[in-house]
Structure 1
Amino acid sequence: MSDHASKNIVVLISGQGSNMQAIVRAARDRQWGRRWGARLAGVVSNRPEAAGLAWAQAEGLPTVALDHRAYASREAFDAALIQAIDGLCPPGPFLVVLAGFMRILTPGFVEHYAGRLINIHPSLLPAFPGLHTHERALQAGCRFAGATVHRVTAELDHGEYLDQVVVPVMPDDSADTLAARVLTQEHLMYPRVIERLLAAG
């Protein structure tokens, strides 16, 4: 993976893809291609109606929409997803970046991209894996919240932590206001982690 030409990045989204947008902007503004030979090879979504796909297309990025509802099983969808990702950048990507991709991935998929698959989760793991992280942080009376970038393993939200960011919880926070404050920090942290991986690559 040390060859500059091999540093293709594929981003997976399910919705607006605000973290994907932050990554695309960082790649352009900080010249990832010139510095590390990195290239955003494409954006893939399991929801054809995802707003992030239209944004990526407007930026000139290749996009693939794979509707998970069209597949009989999780394994069948993940097999098609592997084909789509690897098809964007044969023989395969340097990194697969999950940016709000709301699917639990099968062990076979995770194994296929072992060491190359990263995710961002809106909590300070190991606290609050899974969904509704901000509501759960508020219900627990947490004074701090945050987000974690981690390597993906077959166990949900469990792989090696690559970075974390801490955000204070305000007395009048709702889940929405806390989520918005955490998200602004996610947009800074995720590109920073990818840059470190590219530099080390």
Structure 2
Amino acid sequence: MDEKTEELRDIFLDTTGGDTVTERQEEGHGSLADEPDAAERVAELVSRMRERYEFDSGLSEDDLVRVVRLYFEDADDAAIADDLGVDEATVFAARMDLHLVRESDREAPFDLSRLRSMHVEGVPTAERATDLGVDEGTVEHYSTVVAADLESTRANDRFRDEFAELLAEEDLRGGHTEDAREDGLREAAEDIETNVSF
């Protein structure tokens, strides 16, 4: 150690009261690494919904979890149906069971708020169809959307929001953070001067 380095070392010791340059970092609370697996938590949420609401799709819990995942990957009903080996009507029913209503589901050929009022008042399907000027099948389809929206609203959209949050966290745990870390390290390493002498 030359005189200058020794002098700097002494200043460091006087200032910090320690002789190590770095301290061991401990993992703080709320680390993503501490969280249970997202798939397990999504399955728990699906199970809680099944206990609370009457499901119409008839899909298994594993398939319902798959519907949630694919929905948040922006897969359409045809792609989800193909993945699960079921028809699109089953996927639609499963999405409604899980409060996963798309904006396009609300694009009815009539004023949806009128149907919502009739649904709340318990107006029979045939009367709804006559009043709205559409067939009963169309009324049943949009009544399912209205019912799912109302259930979700009563639950403050909690289930849908939790699904979204869990799957976003899973993305963070996966390759996205790893890629970002590697990119950041690569950029930082490019700026390091390797021929430094002390």
TM-score tier by shorter-chain length is under 0.3
Structure with more of its chain in helix, by fraction: 2
TM-score where L is the length of structure 1:
0.24
